Structure formats: C-alpha cells, structure tokens
Amino acid sequence: MNLLSSKRLKKAKDKDIVFEILDIKKNKKTGFFHKMTEIYAFAVALGIKSKKTEPIIGGNGDPIAVDLFSEEQQRYFDTVILFHEAGDITKLNKENEENINRYVKTIEAYANGGLAIIKDKLVVHPEDSFNIITRLVHEELKEVIPDEAKGAFEW
C-alpha cells in the first residue's frame, strides 16, 4: 500500500505570493506555469540545486495533494529523497509511515527553500515574472551544462 499517495505537500503561507504571481490561471499577465504542481516541482528543483532547505514555520498555505503531481514529478521527488538520504533506497519504502513522514518533510523543505529564492527575485518586479523565471532557469542550467554541450541546448 502506497501511503504517500494520500498525503498532501504543504507550502508556507508567506510563499503564496509566488503561486499568485506565477500561476497563469490566477494571473494571465504574470503567470508562467499552468499548474501549481509545476511551480512546486520547480521550487523543489531550485532548492536542491541551491542546496537550500527551509522548514515550514508559521502558517501554511493550501497544501497540494501528492496524487495531483505527474508520475514524472513524483519520480523526481524519489530522486530528491535518494540524493538527500545518500542513496539509501530503503527510504523510498512507501509502506512505512516513518519513511513517508520524513519524505514529505524533506520535499516540503526543499520546495520552501526554492520558493524563498523565487520570492526574493519576484517581489521586486512581479510584472517581469516571465523574464525573471527564464533567467533563473538559464542561470541554473548554465552552471550544470558543460560548455562543450551548450550547442545541443541552444533554443
């Protein structure tokens, strides 16, 4: 039995502004992502890349049900857990309540860390969200992709 599928991932109330700015359904002018799950997964990736975790302190925004995330996003979260747990595959046992609670807290902490980075950049010029997110993605990818491989990733 997969205990993770019934869980909900929290987000800090103070990061709700990121979702309001970047969700295209909420704001057609500044929206960048089509689903809240995309914003959350991007924040997790940014948190991992930046090695930034922040526990959720204070109020919570509306949590997101795990089963709303795509299979690909859920597999990515599994990869995050493996990275965080130094490759300990037993931490992916989704029938163990203790593992699941730790899994959820870890994903939430990386998401909150990534959301903090995004929020710091967006609150200054929310009207420029598209360019800010595009630059953020480009800057992060630039650090990962070796110069020799750049040609294959030019758009």
- Average the pLDDT over 39-46 and give the result: 96
The per-residue pLDDT of the chain, averaged, comes to 88
pLDDT for 5-17, tens place per residue?
999 999 999 999 9
Q: Structurally, how many domains does the chain consist of?
A: 1
Residue 53 · residue 112 · CB < 8 Å = yes
Domain assignment of residue 55, given as a range:
4-153
Phi, psi for residue 64 in degrees, rounded to 5: -115, 125
Which residue(s) pair with 8 in the sheet? Answer: 65
Residue 27 has pLDDT above 90, yes or no: no
pLDDT for 88-132, tens place per residue?
999 999 999 999 999 999 999 999 999 999 999 998 888 888 888
Q: What is the pLDDT of residue 147?
A: 53
Contacts of 66 (CB under 8 A, 6+ apart): 4, 5, 6, 7, 8, 9, 74
pTM of the model: 0.86
